Amino acid sequence: MKHYDHYLHKHREHHPQIGIGLFFIALGVALLVATNDMLHLGGIKEYFTWETAMIFVGVLMLLNLQFIPGLLLMAGGAWFLIDDFYGEIPTLIKTVYWPAVIMLIGISFIISSIFKRKNISK
- Please write the tens of the pLDDT for every residue from 16-72: 677 788 788 888 888 888 888 887 777 778 778 888 889 888 988 887 778 788 888
Query: Residue type at 48?
Result: F
Number of domains within the chain = 1
The domain in which residue 114 lies consists of 2-121
User: In this predicted model, what pLDDT tens digit does every residue of 59-105 receive, in sequence order?
Assistant: 888 877 787 888 889 988 888 888 777 777 778 888 898 898 889 88
pTM for the whole structure: 0.64
